[in-house]
């Protein structure tokens, strides 16, 4: 049976997330935009609202609510602040490898603090050589007694400067085909964030570079099996990373449509609100079509994930569609606003800047197509 | 441990309530599917109870009267931290004015049995009378303080509260059990949490109808209401508008001229 | 001229022995109702050392004043005030009781109504007698008016805001009967007003300025609201608001005009970005000249004002302010 309705409980989650977003996040947006920095109060509020606990199992201090609930939360938060949703999505991405591949001891050590927001997480895969081709990365590790020594640099890392717990992918110094994942903690010898990027959009979340200089990581911080690191990284990114971007994109789409509807009904031209003009109506209708379709794709993939089904391809489709739609929607929203769309007082100018950042995060649209093509061609390849 | 009853009402979402209109032809209400939410001031009542629970320990019972969909707002209160939720729901309760509503709620509170405090929002967003709280208190023969803006002392039998006035406040001393109606200024209501929602997931919402309350049908709902709406009329205006036309600049100038001629600026 | 019908009552309110204007307004209207019902107007006045205040109640139209004069009645005490009024109402069986919609009235009225097991309405903007001589109480709601009646039970009770009815012409020669009430001493108390603290309200007081500029949801956001506030400042006007503007947090509750806010009667009212909801408009119907600025030509607000400007308020108002300043400049030099 296909049921396309949200349960009463899911509707209540949405209400809770919206209330949270509107009361705790929205008032901080101007400050975040001005400072171009993470707002500590927003991070604290996210923790208090248990937003980092959504996907963490109950036995490790989480709520165990799964990925539809997470998508609802991300969409609602992104509706008021894409940057905050992005930060939260990457917390989730950083948490996921520990849930999926951590041993009992690691789960007990990290997850309760991560659930409360006392510890913040991220994942570090991307390097200057590329993010979607992780094998080209140069960050390496070697055994040294009971420890491992990591050397290299990771870039475009969201939450780079605020994360306490980082899942790092590195290759064997001796064998470039062998990858292993490690949990690196803030304060470990030889590990430090270096410079912070200044992005055109999502100014309230932090993106930067991580440096590993003879970083010593104890053996118990090895995540998953030695040599199986690529699986650890990919499993998290394919579903949780792309899924998170869908949440960010859907929220932005909804915000663009809302702002456009409001403006089009207030702005008078030829003596009438511009929403009476068919050309504007066309644009509004298209935004709604994209939002409806995006939600169906995104929530379907998240529902599959909740049932334990493999959903990375479906998420690739949803990620492609929703981020493209959000970019188109943001452009349309700015167009509807005319001259006002260029003014910072109007939120659509921020939406437009934020939409740019949605593209490359967790894989560009072109990469999504590569993945989708690989999926559709699979039956024809040996 | 304190026993607190919080009365909450499901109201059409105030953000969309202006969609509800008297149909000019049928003279009945066109509701336009406006969703039901907790009456905003009842959230302050709920928050007051939750803060007392944290401070002094309390058992909170949420009580609402309404049609079955009002059960959702009772569940929301459970998610916020109430211990028990009761919905007074019966066809016979429909069409109640403030008096009959207060009477029904008072009967519900009587059935709950023991209570030290009853909280209500000062008024509801859809009728705004402020009558229900004091009338419940009268039926239960307990003192009431309306428009409470601060709880100053909350230990022992006698509490002290500040009640808002137009230009200041009253300092009131009151003996428990008592009923307080609360203002927006009393506190900032907390928002729903995901874990609260999960905890409220399987909680039963108790439903009481006329049989459970053991009340006579003629004292409830429309039949038990002293006041009735005898008619609905559309508004009529005594003023005749002149829309000032022209370019933006001309409009501004012409308006100023009109106002100057009328001698009001 | 006692009739078989009960009389029309007004519960008067005093602060520091000064009778509130709303009480006089209600007596004026009670006079009209009583004449039509061929009955008398009776006023209850409770306080301490207030015997000197009764003359103005007669001047406003009262035939009889029930006076409760005692130190422990000097300000509102819920239990004893209720007790006195309920006891007297049970004896005298009034037809109608009117109470000012003040913070005291809004608490006392339901306490009395519930004890008398009768109906009570709030927010009426008019009170008249229908063809059966039943009090028809007109309450704005849902873009129209509801007529509320209390057909079977007596008394019929209503709270009315200040400004709904005018202060009647005072006839200083009018006299009436003073009935001194037997004030109970210490009744068993479960509640007591210990103290009343008066605080100065902030900002230009809405009730006493000749110009009021009011803004609504059409301000869109705080920046839009500030533009409206700038207009008020340019005109040296008080800034009023609608319920949505208060809910958005742009304006304080004390600035709200209308049904559950204030009733004002300035010389000039300019409503900006508001849709003309009756709940707001009832607070301003007595303004001399009314202007609306709204971008929706179909907005109901244009049916209720004298002059309308159809325009985007964000764009129109800054220009309007400029023109006002030009005009004011000319006034000074001429």
Is the pLDDT at C333 greater than 60, yes or no?
no
Of A267, A271, A345, the CB nearest to C297: A271
Average pLDDT (C97-109) is: 95
Average pLDDT, chain C: 89
- CATH level 3 topology of C206-333: Rossmann fold (3.40.50)
Which chain A residue's Cα is nearest to B246? A271
pLDDT at A253: 98
Half-sphere exposure of A365 (CA within 13 A, CB side): 14
Q: Which residues, numbered 109 to 148 in chain B, qualify as contacts with chain C under a Cβ-Cβ cut-off of 8 Å?
A: 123, 128-131, 133-135, 137-139, 142-147
Distance from CA of C40 to the nearest CA of B (A): 24
C248 token code pair: 């958005």
Share of chain A above pLDDT 90, in %: 87
Last-in-domain residue among A225, A241, A271: A225
pLDDT at C137: 93
Phi, psi of A36 (to 5 degrees): 65, 35
Burial A327-354 (b: 16+ CB within 10 A, else e): bbbbbbbbebbeeebeeeebbbbbbbbb
Cβ A250 vs Cβ A290: under 8 Å:
no
Of A9, A23, A49, the CB nearest to B193: A49
Burial C136-165 (b: 16+ CB within 10 A, else e): bbbbbbbbbbbbbbbeebbbbbbbbbbbbb
Q: Which residues of A touch B192 (CB under 8 A)?
A: 12, 15-16, 19
Say if C265 is an interface residue toward chain B (CB within 8 Å).
no
Average pLDDT (C40-67) is: 95
C69 token code pair: 């004069």
Q: Please answer yes or no on whether C315 and B255 come within 8 Å at the CB atom.
A: no
In chain B, how many domains are there? 1
Last-in-domain residue among A197, A225, A253: A225
Q: Which residues of B touch A51 (CB under 8 A)?
A: 194
Cβ B57 vs Cβ B85: under 8 Å:
no
Is the pLDDT at A376 greater than 50, yes or no?
yes
Average pLDDT (C203-214) is: 82
Please check whether residues A72 and A153 belong to one and the same domain: no
Q: Please answer yes or no on whether A49 and B191 come within 8 Å at the CB atom.
A: yes
pLDDT at B235: 67
Q: For residue A21, what is the domain's CATH number?
A: 1.10.540.10
Which chain A residue's Cα is nearest to B247? A271
**More confident position, A251 or B229:** A251
Of A12, A51, A54, the CB nearest to B192: A12
**Greatest extent of chain B over all pairs of C-alpha atoms, in Å:** 70
Instruction: Give the residue from A56, A75, A198 showing the smallest Cα distance to A121.
Output: A56
Of B40, B147, B244, the CB nearest to C309: B244
Say if C309 is an interface residue toward chain A (CB within 8 Å).
no
Q: Which residues of A touch C296 (CB under 8 A)?
A: 265, 273
Which structural domain range is residue B186 located in?
Answer: 2-219
Average pLDDT (A65-70) is: 96
pLDDT at B246: 87
In chain A, how many domains are there? 3
Please check whether residues A238 and A375 belong to one and the same domain: yes
Q: Please answer yes or no on whether A13 and B194 come within 8 Å at the CB atom.
A: yes
pLDDT at C1: 45
In a domain, B260, yes or no: no
Q: Please answer yes or no on whether C290 and B227 come within 8 Å at the CB atom.
A: no
pLDDT confidence tier of residue C2, bands split at 50, 70 and 90: very low
- CATH level 3 topology of C8-180: Rossmann fold (3.40.50)
Of A16, A53, A65, the CB nearest to B191: A16
Cβ B132 vs Cβ B102: under 8 Å:
yes
In a domain, A348, yes or no: yes
**More confident position, C145 or C183:** C183
Please check whether residues A236 and A371 belong to one and the same domain: yes
pLDDT at B29: 67
Please check whether residues A258 and A322 belong to one and the same domain: yes
Say if B194 is an interface residue toward chain A (CB within 8 Å).
yes
Say if B235 is an interface residue toward chain C (CB within 8 Å).
yes
Q: Where in chain C is the domain with CATH 3.40.50.620?
A: 8-180
Of C144, C289, C324, the CB nearest to B233: C144
Instruction: Give the residue from A207, A27, A20, A19 showing the smallest Cα distance to A126.
Output: A207
Please, which residues have CB within 8 angstroms of residue C204's CB and are 6 or more apart in sequence? Answer: C232, C236, C237, C238, C239
- Check the CA dihedral A242-A244-A245-A246 and report its sign: positive
Of C201, C268, C310, the CB nearest to B259: C268
For every residue of C201-237, DSSP letters joined together read: PPSS-GGG-SEEEEE-GGG-SHHHHHHHHHHHHHTT-
Q: Which residues of B touch C209 (CB under 8 A)?
A: none
Cα dist from A315 to A100, A176, A250, A380, B14, whole Å = 18, 29, 13, 22, 37
Please check whether residues A239 and A361 belong to one and the same domain: yes
Q: Where in chain C is the domain with CATH 3.40.50.1220?
A: 206-333
pLDDT at A313: 95
Angle value at C-alpha A22, between A21 and A28, nearest 5 degrees: 85
Which chain A residue's Cα is nearest to B199? A63
pLDDT confidence tier of residue C185, bands split at 50, 70 and 90: confident
C241 token code pair: 């608001």
C176 token code pair: 């009436």
Q: Please answer yes or no on whether B191 and A9 come within 8 Å at the CB atom.
A: no
Q: For residue A164, what is the domain's CATH number?
A: 2.40.110.10
* Cα distance between residue A88 and residue A283, in whole Å: 31
Q: Which residues of B touch C303 (CB under 8 A)?
A: 235, 237, 239, 241
Cα dist from B137 to B117, B132, B143, B179, whole Å = 10, 9, 6, 6
Cα dist from A346 to A198, A339, A351, C179, whole Å = 21, 10, 9, 66
Q: For residue B49, what is the domain's CATH number?
A: 3.40.50.620
In a domain, A186, yes or no: yes
pLDDT < 70 positions in chain B: 23-32, 235-237
User: Which residues are paired to C215 by β-bridges?
Assistant: C241, C272
- Best of B125, B229, B264 to disrupt the C interface (most C CBs within 10 Å) is B264
Say if B193 is an interface residue toward chain A (CB within 8 Å).
yes
Is the pLDDT at C112 greater than 70, yes or no?
yes
pLDDT at B125: 84
* Cα distance between residue A65 and residue C276, in whole Å: 46
Say if B31 is an interface residue toward chain A (CB within 8 Å).
no
Instruction: Give the residue from A97, A70, A77, A84 showing the smallest Cα distance to A17.
Output: A77
Say if B175 is an interface residue toward chain C (CB within 8 Å).
yes
Which of A113-122, A128-137, C240-249 has the highest mean predicted lDDT (pLDDT)?
A113-122
Q: Which residues of C touch B167 (CB under 8 A)?
A: 198-201
In a domain, A2, yes or no: no
Cα dist from C24 to A11, A200, B250, C186, C262, whole Å = 52, 65, 45, 30, 17
Phi, psi of B121 (to 5 degrees): -65, 155
Q: What is the ipTM of this complex?
A: 0.90
Please check whether residues A360 and A242 belong to one and the same domain: yes
- Best of B31, B136, B167 to disrupt the C interface (most C CBs within 10 Å) is B167
Average pLDDT (A312-335) is: 97
Please, which residues have CB within 8 angstroms of residue A210's CB and are 6 or more apart in sequence? Answer: A124, A153, A154, A155, A157, A160, A166, A168, A191, A192, A193, A194
- Best of C15, C74, C106, C329 to disrupt the B interface (most B CBs within 10 Å) is C106
* Cα distance between residue C223 and residue C252, in whole Å: 16
Please check whether residues A126 and A116 belong to one and the same domain: no
* Cis, peptide link before residue B76, omega less than 30° from 0: no
**SS3 helix, strand, coil % of chain B, rounded to 5?**
35, 30, 35
Q: Please answer yes or no on whether C295 and A273 come within 8 Å at the CB atom.
A: yes
Which structural domain range is residue A129 located in?
Answer: 122-225
**More confident position, C282 or C307:** C307
Please check whether residues A256 and A211 belong to one and the same domain: no
pLDDT at B146: 96
In a domain, A164, yes or no: yes
* Cα distance between residue A271 and residue C22, in whole Å: 44
In a domain, A134, yes or no: yes
User: Which residues are paired to C141 by β-bridges?
Assistant: C144
Say if B197 is an interface residue toward chain A (CB within 8 Å).
yes
Is the pLDDT at C297 greater than 90, yes or no?
no
pLDDT confidence tier of residue C202, bands split at 50, 70 and 90: low
Of C118, C194, C210, the CB nearest to B226: C118
Say if B215 is an interface residue toward chain C (CB within 8 Å).
no
pLDDT at C201: 64
> What does the pLDDT look like over A139-196, one tens digit per residue?
999 999 999 999 999 999 999 999 999 999 999 999 989 999 999 999 999 999 999 9
Please check whether residues A271 and A311 belong to one and the same domain: yes
Say if C136 is an interface residue toward chain B (CB within 8 Å).
yes
Chain B: touching chains (3 or more CB pairs < 8 Å): A, C
pLDDT at B32: 64
Spell out the alpha helix ranges (H) of B30-173.
40-56, 71-80, 98-112, 132-139
Please check whether residues A109 and A22 belong to one and the same domain: yes
Per mean pLDDT, which range of A364-378, B223-237, C71-85 is the poorest?
B223-237
Average pLDDT (A281-310) is: 96
Average pLDDT (A87-104) is: 96
Instruction: Give the residue from B164, B94, B98, B163 showing the smallest Cα distance to B129.
Output: B98
Q: Which residues of B touch A9 (CB under 8 A)?
A: 197, 201
In a domain, A3, yes or no: no
Last-in-domain residue among A120, A141, A173: A120
> What does the pLDDT look like over A51-61, one tens digit per residue?
999 999 999 99
Cβ A92 vs Cβ A55: under 8 Å:
yes
Cβ A92 vs Cβ A66: under 8 Å:
no
Q: For residue A359, what is the domain's CATH number?
A: 1.20.140.10
């Amino acid at each position: 049976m296909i049921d396309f309705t949200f349960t009463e409980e899911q509707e209540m989650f949405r209400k809770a997330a919206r209330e949270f977003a509107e009361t705790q996040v929205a008032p901080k947006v101007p400050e975040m935009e001005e400072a171009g920095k993470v707002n500590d109060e927003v991070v604290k509020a996210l923790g208090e609202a248990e937003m980092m606990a959504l996907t963490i199992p109950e036995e490790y201090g989480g709520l165990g609510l799964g990925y539809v609930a997470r998508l609802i939360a991300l969409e609602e938060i992104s509706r008021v602040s894409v940057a905050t949703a992005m930060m939260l999505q990457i917390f989730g991405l950083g948490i996921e490898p520990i849930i999926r591949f951590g041993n009992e001891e690691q789960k007990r050590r990290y997850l309760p603090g991560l659930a409360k927001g006392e510890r913040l997480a991220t994942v570090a895969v991307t390097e200057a050589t590329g993010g979607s081709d992780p094998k080209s990365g140069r960050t390496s590790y070697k055994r040294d007694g009971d420890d491992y020594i990591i050397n290299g640099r990771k870039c475009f890392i969201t939450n780079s400067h605020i994360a306490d717990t980082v899942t790092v992918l590195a290759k064997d110094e001796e064998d470039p085909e062998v990858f292993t994942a490690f949990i690196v903690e803030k304060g470990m010898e030889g590990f430090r964030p270096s410079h912070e990027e200044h992005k055109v959009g999502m100014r309230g979340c932090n993106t930067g570079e991580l440096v590993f200089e003879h970083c010593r990581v104890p053996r118990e911080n090895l995540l998953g099996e030695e040599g199986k690191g690529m699986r650890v990284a990919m499993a998290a990114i394919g579903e949780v990373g792309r899924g998170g971007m869908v949440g960010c994109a859907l929220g932005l789409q909804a915000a663009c449509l809302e702002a456009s509807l409001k403006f089009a009904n207030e702005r008078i031209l030829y003596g009438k609100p511009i929403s009476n003009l068919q050309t504007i109506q066309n644009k509004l209708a298209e935004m709604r079509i994209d939002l409806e379709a995006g939600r169906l794709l995104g929530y379907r993939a998240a529902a599959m994930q909740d049932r334990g089904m493999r959903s990375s391809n479906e998420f690739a489709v949803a990620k492609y569609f929703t981020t493209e739609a959000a970019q188109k929607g943001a452009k349309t929203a700015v167009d509807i606003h005319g001259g006002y769309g260029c003014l910072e007082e109007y939120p659509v100018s921020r939406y437009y800047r934020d939409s740019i950042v949605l593209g490359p995060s967790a894989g560009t649209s072109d990469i999504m197509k590569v993945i989708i093509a690989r999926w559709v061609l699979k039956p024809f390849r040996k | 441990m304190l026993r607190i009853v919080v009365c909450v009402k499901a109201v059409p979402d105030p953000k969309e309530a202006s969609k509800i209109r008297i149909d000019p032809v049928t003279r009945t209400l066109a509701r336009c599917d406006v969703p039901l939410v907790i009456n905003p001031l009842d959230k302050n009542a709920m928050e007051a109870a939750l803060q007392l629970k944290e401070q002094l320990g309390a058992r909170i019972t949420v009580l609402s009267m309404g049609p079955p969909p009002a059960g959702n707002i009772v569940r929301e209160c459970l998610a916020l931290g109430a211990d028990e939720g009761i919905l007074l729901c019966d066809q016979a309760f429909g069409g109640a004015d403030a008096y009959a509503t207060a009477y029904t709620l008072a009967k519900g509170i009587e059935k709950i049995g023991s209570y030290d405090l009853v909280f209500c929002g000062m008024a509801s967003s859809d009728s705004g009378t402020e009558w229900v709280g004091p009338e419940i208190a009268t039926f239960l023969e307990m003192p009431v303080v309306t428009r409470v803006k601060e709880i100053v002392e909350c230990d022992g039998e006698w509490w002290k509260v500040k009640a808002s006035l137009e230009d200041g406040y009253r300092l009131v001393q009151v003996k428990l059990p008592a009923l307080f109606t609360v203002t927006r200024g009393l506190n900032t209501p907390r928002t729903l949490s995901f874990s609260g929602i999960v905890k409220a997931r399987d909680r039963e919402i108790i439903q009481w109808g006329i049989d459970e309350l053991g009340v006579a049908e003629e004292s409830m709902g429309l039949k038990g209401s002293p006041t009735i709406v005898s008619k609905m009329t559309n508004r009529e205006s005594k003023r005749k508008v002149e829309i000032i036309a022209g370019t933006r600049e001309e409009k501004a100038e012409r308006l100023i001229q009109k106002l100057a001629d009328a001698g009001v600026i | 001229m006692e009739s078989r019908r009960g009389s029309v009552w007004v519960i008067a309110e005093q602060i520091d022995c000064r009778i509130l204007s709303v009480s006089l307004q209600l007596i004026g209207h009670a006079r009209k109702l009583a004449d039509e019902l061929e009955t008398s107007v009776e006023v209850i006045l409770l306080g301490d050392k207030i015997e000197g205040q009764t003359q103005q109640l007669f001047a406003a139209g009262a035939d009889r004043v029930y006076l409760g004069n005692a130190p422990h009645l000097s300000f509102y005490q819920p239990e004893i005030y209720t007790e006195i009024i309920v006891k007297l109402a049970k004896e005298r069986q009034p037809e109608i009781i009117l109470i000012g919609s003040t913070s005291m009235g809004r608490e006392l009225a339901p306490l009395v109504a519930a004890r008398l097991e009768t109906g009570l309405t709030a927010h009426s903007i008019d009170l008249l007698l229908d063809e059966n001589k039943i009090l028809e109480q007109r309450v704005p709601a849902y873009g129209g008016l509801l007529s509320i009646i209390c057909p079977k039970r007596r008394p019929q009770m209503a709270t009315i805001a200040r400004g709904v009815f005018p202060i009647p012409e005072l006839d200083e020669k009018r006299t009436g009967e003073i009935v001194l009430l037997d004030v109970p001493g210490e009744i068993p108390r479960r509640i007591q007003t210990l103290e009343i603290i008066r605080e100065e309200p902030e900002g230009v007081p809405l009730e006493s300025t000749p110009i009021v500029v009011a803004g609504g949801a059409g301000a869109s956001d705080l920046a839009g609201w500030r533009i409206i506030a700038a207009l008020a400042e340019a005109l040296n006007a008080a800034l009023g608001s609608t319920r949505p503007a208060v809910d958005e947090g742009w304006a304080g509750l004390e600035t709200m005009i209308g049904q559950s806010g204030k009733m004002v009667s300035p010389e000039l009212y300019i409503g900006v970005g508001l849709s003309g909801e009756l709940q707001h408009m009832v607070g301003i119907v007595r303004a001399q000249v009314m202007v609306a600025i709204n971008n929706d030509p179909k907005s109901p607000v244009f049916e209720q004002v004298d002059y309308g400007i159809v325009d985007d308020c964000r764009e129109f108002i800054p220009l309007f302010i400029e023109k006002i300043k030009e005009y004011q400049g000319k006034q000074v030099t001429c």
